[in-house]
Amino acid sequence: MARNRIKMAMLAVSVLIIALLIVYADPGKFAQLLAKSDYRFVLAAVLLSSFNILVLRILKWQLLLEKESFATVVPVQLLGVTISNLSPGKIAEPIKSVILKLHSGKPVSSSLPSVIWERILDLISLIFLSFVAMFFFTTIDTSLFLISLAGTFIFILIIIVAVGFLYSRRIRNWVLRIVKKLPVLKNISEGFMKNFAKIKIPRKRLFYSFVVTLAAWLIEGVLLWLVFLALGISLSPLFLASIFALATVIGVITALPGGIGSTEIVMTLFLGAVGIDYSTAIAGVLLYRFLSIWYFNLLGGISLVYITKKLRISYNSLLS
């Protein structure tokens, strides 16, 4: 119960930040900017976002899984990532392994390494793009550069620990000693960990998944580019992809659900640093986030209804 109250409180903080951004942008001007936007570019962004979510972001995990069809992975990925998006710092990503077990019978210990690798490949892509953004900001804003450098350094440490957890028994035992202090993880068995340690994903599949993952993150830049074109502003898609990656890195570190609120603030600051009016920047960022994370969450909600009806289980059994 206390855990749920914390989740709701943090989600309320995220919603409050979004509301304050709209107020800061001037609601009248904000609505005017959206009303005058070129809906041809918005429609193109919707179609591209649909492809990114329903194809690339499904495929990047499916490539890491053994003997799981694309159709099987679709609802599991959509629901799992949505639950993760609403958790502090996106720490609930492993829930996908639990949902997959319920959906197809695959043991959690067999699919969990794929979830960890998927996050590692996401982080590598984010760090690569973050360095591109830091290159832009070295001569524009020193404080933003230093904040970006600190966030990227933390993510590099996370990657090192995650890879060590997969391949080093010593690091795995060290992490387990920490996580077993959590009530939900204290009953992890030796058999589970032995089966987990046996799962090795071939390098070829890791490479293919990384290519798809990087493409998915680059498309986020194209989405932002289309959104700002709709508002009458043309920026480099690579620059936009890099500042979104960097904002995601910093946003997740804040531990707000899915970085919601903090990511929007950081993106707005970055866009303001290159001369974009804050009202326009906020309008573009919020429209983009609606077409990406909130569109994803909507599809995740549909998947929740589908999976619970198919498996004849309650919503609470998945969301608690």
> pLDDT tens digits, residue range 174-229?
776 666 665 545 566 666 666 666 778 889 999 999 999 999 999 999 999 999 99
Q: Where are the alpha helices (DSSP H) in the chain?
A: 2-25, 27-35, 39-51, 57-62, 70-85, 95-104, 108-137, 142-167, 169-179, 190-198, 203-230, 237-253, 262-273, 278-289, 295-311, 315-319
Q: For the chain, what percent of residues have pLDDT higher than 70?
A: 84
Q: pTM for the whole thing?
A: 0.84
Supply the pLDDT for residue 28.
Answer: 80
> pLDDT tens digits, residue range 233-265?
998 898 899 888 888 887 777 777 778 888 898
Domain ranges of the chain: 2-319
Q: What is the mean pLDDT of each run of 10 residues along the chain (320 residues)?
A: 68 83 79 86 96 97 92 94 83 88 88 90 87 68 63 75 76 69 58 69 93 95 94 90 85 76 88 86 92 94 90 60
Residues 6+ apart with CB under 8 A from 266: 246, 247, 250, 251
How far is residue 41's CA from residue 56's CA, in Å, rounded to a whole number?
21
- Angle of helix 142-167 relative to helix 169-179, nearest 10 degrees? 110
Supply the pLDDT for residue 50.
Answer: 97
How far is residue 234's CA from residue 189's CA, in Å, rounded to a whole number?
54
End-to-end CA separation in angstroms for the chain: 9
Q: With 0-12 CB in 10 A as exposed, 13-18 as middle and 19+ as buried, what is 109?
A: buried
